């Protein structure tokens, strides 16, 4: 069962999933002393996701490996898409780091030590991050008791790149690839922005640099797709004019993305109708649905929805339906 990735997920994975792009973000955000000892030129992506299935609508993650002082190390990057801070993020990140170690031990049965895992959260949206960044601050103990037990409590803390607190001048000064710089900018300014075309005009040099890059057309199309999916519809004429000003290749990419999204919209509309119909049938037959069943239906492919709808009449339980 799988559904199309969210626009945030898709743009982040496509751009930051390229090791050279990810390395530029890590050099800009990790502590300098750590960067000096990490061989980010040998950064490699590890396939898969560690995020709990019920949270994938709000979190995107990428796992990398790179040598640290000649030893294997991991860098775990998670992007928080919600405007509100996740109050349990420190605990969730600890769980994901433990999952990295579990995977490592499954592949290295004789290991007696664990590789370093560097946890980084990238947060974007309207409000700055306010939730705790270490597990110790989540433990519900009186201050005096917490002090007495400090040595026995986990102190795990993740690194935070809060894009809300990064202004455009600082973003320009970061040693990032053009595509990463624009990705971070778009995560900051696109959602719900009716002035997007005006706000992007000072960045046309970066847009052109992405288009002229080694994978320029594909990365440029990825950024355009994000803009079209998340941006305000009323601003599209101005955006078209802005993109067209970059030249015929840029305008052609814009028109191609627009046509693809129109076609996808027709398909997605039909899928959404099937989701709604199946949920109504299931609720009528089984009563209020558990969260796991709701998530399964919303994440299902068109083919899976068709199969489950056909099973509604013969299934006596939800377990039988989801076989």
Tens of pLDDT, residue by residue over 14-41, are 999 999 999 999 999 999 999 999 999 9
Q: Does 312 lie in the same domain as 166?
A: no
Establish if 200 belongs to a structural domain.
Answer: no
Q: Which residue has the tokens 């993740």?
A: 158
Residues 38 and 184 in one domain: yes
249 falls within a domain? no
Residue 242 lies in a domain: no
Mean local confidence (pLDDT), 276-292:
83
Residue recorded with tokens 């990057």: 77
Q: Whole-prediction pTM value?
A: 0.78
What average pLDDT does range 135-149 have in this prediction?
82
Q: How many domains does the chain have?
A: 2
In whole angstroms, give the CA distance from residue 310 to residue 287.
18
Residue 131 placed within a domain: yes
Phi–psi pair at 68, nearest 5 degrees: -125, 110
Residues 136, 274 share a domain: no
269 & 128 share domain: no
In a shared domain, residues 266 and 148: no
Span 45-63, average pLDDT = 84
H helix runs in the chain, sequence order = 7-16, 19-29, 32-35, 89-107, 143-149, 168-173, 178-189, 196-200, 204-211, 216-230, 236-244, 248-286, 291-299, 302-311, 318-321
Q: Are residues 172 and 315 in the same domain?
A: no
CB count within 10 Å of CB 290 equals 10
Average pLDDT score over residue span 127-137: 92
- Rounded Cα gap, residues 281 and 310, in angstroms: 11
Q: What's the pLDDT tens digit per position in 210-258?
A: 999 888 888 998 998 888 888 776 667 888 899 999 999 988 888 888 7
Secondary structure (DSSP) of 36-93: TTB-GGG-EEE-S--S-GGGTTTEEEEEEEEEETTEEEEEEEEEE-SSS--TTHHHHH
- 149, 175, 193 — which closes off a domain? 193
Q: Return the ∠ at Cα 88 (arms to 26 and 80), rounded to 5°.
A: 40
| Interatomic CA distance for residues 50 and 151, integer angstroms | 29
Answer yes or no: is 85 within a domain. Answer: yes
- Domain, as residue range, for 172: 7-193
Q: Which residue, 193, 210, 227, sits at the end of a domain? A: 193
Q: State the chain's mean pLDDT as an integer.
A: 86
Of 167, 193, 219, the one marking the end of a domain is 193
239 in a structural domain? no
């Amino acid at each position: 069962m799988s559904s199309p990735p969210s626009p945030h997920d898709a743009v982040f994975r496509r751009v930051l999933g390229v090791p050279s792009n990810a390395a530029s973000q890590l050099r800009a955000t990790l502590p300098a002393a750590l960067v000096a000892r990490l061989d980010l030129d040998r950064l490699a992506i590890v396939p898969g996701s560690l995020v709990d299935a019920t949270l994938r609508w709000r979190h995107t993650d990428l796992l990398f490996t790179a040598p640290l002082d000649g030893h294997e190390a991991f860098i775990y990057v998670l992007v928080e898409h919600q405007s509100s801070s996740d109050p349990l993020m420190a605990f969730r990140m600890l769980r994901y780091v433990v999952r990295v170690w579990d995977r490592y031990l499954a592949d290295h049965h004789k290991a007696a030590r664990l590789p370093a895992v560097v946890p980084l959260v990238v947060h974007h949206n309207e409000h700055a991050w306010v939730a705790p960044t270490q597990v110790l601050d989540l433990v519900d103990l009186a201050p005096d008791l917490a002090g007495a037990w400090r040595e026995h409590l986990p102190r795990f803390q993740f690194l935070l790149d809060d894009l809300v607190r990064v202004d455009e001048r600082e973003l320009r000064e970061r040693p990032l690839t053009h595509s990463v710089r624009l990705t971070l900018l778009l995560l900051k300014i696109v959602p719900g922005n009716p002035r997007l075309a005006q706000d992007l005009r000072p960045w046309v040099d970066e847009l052109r640099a992405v288009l002229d890059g080694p994978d320029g057309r594909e990365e440029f199309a990825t950024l355009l797709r994000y803009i079209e999916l998340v941006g305000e519809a009323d601003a599209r004429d101005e955006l078209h004019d802005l993109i067209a000003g970059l030249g015929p290749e840029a305008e052609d990419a814009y028109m191609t993305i627009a046509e693809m999204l129109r076609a996808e919209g027709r398909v997605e509309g039909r899928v959404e109708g099937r989701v709604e119909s199946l949920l109504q049938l299931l609720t009528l037959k089984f009563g209020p649905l558990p969260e796991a069943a709701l998530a399964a239906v919303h994440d299902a492919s068109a083919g899976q929805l068709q199969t489950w709808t056909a099973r509604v009449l013969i299934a006596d339980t939800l377990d039988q339906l989801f076989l």
